């Protein structure tokens, strides 16, 4: 047992000596090619094995012939090991260079093209990660382009919408200043209407900026869907009567939701105002609420005649307005393309979802909100049409 321990100690001493001599070379190879590093590691292993073998052979007093045989075996094994390390290292280096060339395409228009066969599992995982990153960058680029297009459209629309009332206000102010206005009270009333329109646009822009900046503060409370719909119908009733449009409550469940009542009322109000303005006189706008798979679905259906299928995906984009919406109304009212964007932002802040589809003679806008429990035990009276 003692002889065996001596042999082990001598082999360890020889290997340690070889390692100490190779330490400067290992430090010099930092940030060098992986092929050269692998070759150096294999060379160190061969040198350590040879040094240990020589030390043990000398201690065992082997004959010159036997020592030559042992060293020949060590030399052949070392050559084979070094050759294998060199070939494998060159293969890894080539795969790394190919992956580096492919990595330069991340974020480009053509997208990342992964190497065909990465030589190691680590390079394959890195290639997969770069491919996923490239996909996310492409999606972000498309979103940025869409946002930029909607931003340009919004600026153009807002500029037009602001220019029209401002021009009217200037003309009426000049008429009043020159004393050529025959009915000053009428001019003052009309100026007040135009100022209210401008204030509403500014309020919408401010609200949308808060939503897009993630600064929309919600005051959540437990409220009934019935109360939300009732309040929204009451608010939209005067506009519906003035436009000759009938508001109909097409079935409203009395379910509780945990929401900001003021913001959700604004959501319903925006949907109702858009529906009323898009529906011709003698048309009908229906509001309903139902429970579906643990969520409350609020729906507003109008008689606008439908939206072209290619535009359905853009309805909630900032600044988007359909062809009919771009035509000024007889009452001078026109939207700035912010109402539905605000609707989507508020609903998503509540962890809900907004959708739109063509249905019947018009469109059906739906808002999904999570419920917070079973319906109340008391029965509420049926909602009455508000217009």
The per-residue DSSP string of 145-208 comes to HHHHHHHHHHHHHHHHHHHHHHHHHHHHHHHHHHT--S-HHHHHHHHHHHHHHHHHHHHHHHHH
| CA R_g for the chain | 38
In which residue are the tokens 């706008």 written?
285
pLDDT of the residue at 127: 82
Q: Is residue 384 part of a domain?
A: no
What would the pLDDT profile of 339-372 be if each residue is shown by its tens digit?
888 888 999 988 889 999 898 788 999 999 887 6
Q: Give me the phi and psi of 277, to 5 degrees please.
A: -70, -25
The more confidently predicted of residues 229 and 90 is 229
- Top mean pLDDT of 89-93, 226-230, 321-325 is at 226-230
Q: Is residue 387 part of a domain?
A: no
The more confidently predicted of residues 184 and 294 is 184
Spatial CB neighbours of 51, under 8 Å, sequence gap ≥ 6:
14, 15, 17, 18
Q: Is residue 344 part of a domain?
A: yes
Asked if residue 278 and residue 165 are part of one domain, the reply reads no
Q: Is residue 115 part of a domain?
A: no
pLDDT of the residue at 386: 47
Spatial CB neighbours of 326, under 8 Å, sequence gap ≥ 6:
334
Average pLDDT of the chain is 78
pLDDT of the residue at 387: 47
What does the block give as tokens for 153? 């459209």
- Alpha helix ranges (H) inside 300-338: 323-326
Asked if residue 339 and residue 225 are part of one domain, the reply reads yes
Distance, CA of 174 to CA of 186 (rounded, Å) = 15
The confidence band for 207, taking pLDDT boundaries of 50, 70 and 90, is confident
Asked if residue 296 and residue 255 are part of one domain, the reply reads yes
Q: Is residue 134 part of a domain?
A: no
Asked if residue 266 and residue 183 are part of one domain, the reply reads no
Instruction: Please give the residue range of the domain that contains residue 26.
Output: 1-105
Q: What total number of domains does the chain contain?
A: 3
Distance, CA of 130 to CA of 145 (rounded, Å) = 22
Region 251-276: mean pLDDT is 88
The pTM score is: 0.58
Last residue of a domain, one of 105, 132, 159: 105
């Amino acid at each position: 047992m003692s002889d065996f321990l001596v042999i082990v100690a001598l082999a360890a001493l020889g290997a340690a000596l070889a390692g100490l001599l190779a330490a400067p070379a290992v430090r010099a190879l930092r940030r060098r090619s992986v092929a050269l590093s692998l070759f150096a590691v294999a060379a160190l292993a061969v040198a350590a094995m040879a040094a240990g073998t020589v030390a043990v052979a000398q201690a065992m007093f082997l004959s010159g012939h036997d020592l030559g045989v042992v060293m020949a075996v060590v030399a052949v094994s070392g050559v084979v090991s070094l050759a294998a390390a060199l070939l494998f290292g060159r293969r890894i280096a080539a795969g790394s260079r190919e992956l580096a060339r492919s990595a330069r395409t991340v974020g480009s228009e053509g997208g990342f093209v992964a190497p065909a066969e990465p030589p190691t599992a680590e390079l394959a995982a890195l290639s997969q990660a770069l491919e996923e990153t490239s996909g996310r960058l492409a999606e972000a680029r498309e979103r940025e382009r869409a946002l930029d297009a909607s931003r340009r459209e919004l600026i153009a629309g807002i500029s037009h919408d602001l220019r029209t009332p401002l021009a009217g206000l200037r003309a009426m102010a000049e008429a009043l200043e020159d004393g050529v206005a025959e009915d000053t009270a009428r001019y003052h009333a009309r100026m007040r209407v135009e100022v209210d329109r401008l204030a509403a646009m500014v309020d919408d822009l401010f609200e949308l900026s808060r939503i897009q900046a993630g600064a929309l503060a919600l005051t959540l409370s437990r409220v009934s869907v019935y109360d939300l719909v009732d309040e929204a119908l009451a608010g939209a009733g005067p506009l519906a009567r003035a436009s000759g449009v009938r508001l109909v409550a097409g079935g409203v469940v009395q379910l509780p939701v945990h929401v900001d009542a003021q913001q959700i009322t604004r959501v319903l109000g925006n949907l109702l105002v858009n529906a009323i303005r898009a529906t011709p006189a003698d048309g009908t706008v229906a509001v309903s609420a139902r429970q579906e798979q643990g969520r409350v679905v609020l729906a507003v259906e109008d008689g606008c005649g439908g939206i072209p299928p290619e535009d359905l995906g853009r309805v909630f984009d900032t600044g988007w307005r359909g062809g009919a919406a771009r035509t000024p109304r007889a009452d001078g009212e026109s939207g700035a393309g912010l109402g539905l964007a605000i609707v989507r932002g508020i609903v998503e802040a509540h962890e809900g979802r907004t959708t739109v589809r063509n249905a019947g003679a018009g469109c059906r806008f739906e808002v999904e909100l999570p419920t917070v429990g079973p319906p109340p035990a008391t029965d509420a009276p049926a909602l009455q049409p508000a217009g």
